Amino acid sequence: MNEPKRTADFGFETVDRPEKARRVRAVFDSVAGSYDLMNDLMSLGVHRLWKQFTLAVAGLRPGQCALDVAGGTGDLAIGLARQVGRDGCVVLSDVNRAMLERGRDRLLDHGIAGNVECVVADAEALPFEDESFDAVTIGFGLRNVTDKAAALASMHRVLKPGGQLLVLEFSKPTLPGLGAICDLYSFNVLPILGAVVARDSASYRYLAESIRMHPDQETLLEMLRTAGFAQARYHNLSGGIVALHRGVKI
């Protein structure tokens, strides 16, 4: 019987699993205050289009319930709350309390309060009952999870039969030469932006490294299937810089 893996990638480093969890929390504690501004600067605002596409694919109906895992400052949760309406429910969850507090503030700023709950939760062991949600989303969070297989299994567990998982994440560029351009930008420009805007170049160096260490499109697709998701497929966005993976619980 194979022993469970005791290490995980933290960027280009290999560390003990508890150490990765601790370091990831420290990264997001550091960047929480500038996270939204940095997202706009890093992607030139294109992250908003990627999230709009995710919400369009989600296509939730009024009265349904959704969970946004590792939801940070609430971009997807805001859109999900508008889809499900007052009779529906959305849970915004994140393992990092500082990020979740930013998300709660942004929800209030957008006039969203009654149908959204904010919960500190680990993606690998979600504290919700089986078959609770019609949809689960995770946007740019899976690559920071220590045990991705455990997180996918946990998200599968809390979905209702027929419910869908949507994973929006950086991936492997498919256009010739685009990968080299992305690496040049990620490893040279992002740390400088992080130093100037967030006063933290190290955290953005880690984020660049975590993008390159994340499974490619086909590998993540197989991980969804292994976790029990049917009809698994993905959409490449911006030449594969980002991919949206979708799976359905049957």
Over range 106-131, report the average pLDDT: 94
Number of domains in the chain: 1
Is 63:131 a contact under the CB 8 Å cutoff?
Answer: no
Pairwise pLDDT comparison (1 vs 70), residue with the higher score: 70
| Residue carrying structure tokens 């869908």 | 164
Q: What pLDDT is stored for residue 38 in this prediction?
A: 87
Q: How far is it, in rounded angstroms, from Cα 184 to Cα 20?
A: 25
Amino acid at the residue 106: R
Residue 24 lies in a domain: yes
pTM for this structure? Answer: 0.94
Evaluate whether residue 194 is within a structural domain: no
Give the rounded percent of residues in the chain with a pLDDT score beyond 70. 98
| Percent of the chain whose pLDDT exceeds 90 | 85
Domain membership flag for residue 197: no
Task: Note whether residue 2 is domain-resident.
Answer: no
Rounded CA-CA distance 27/38 in Å is: 14
| Interacting residues of 139 by C-beta distance below 8 A, sequence separation 6+ | 51, 54, 68, 70, 71, 72, 75, 76, 168, 169
Residue 146: inside a domain? yes
Please report, for the domain that includes residue 224, its CATH number. 3.40.50.150
Domain containing 60 equals: 7-175+205-248
CB under 8 Å to 13, separation ≥6 — which residues?
none
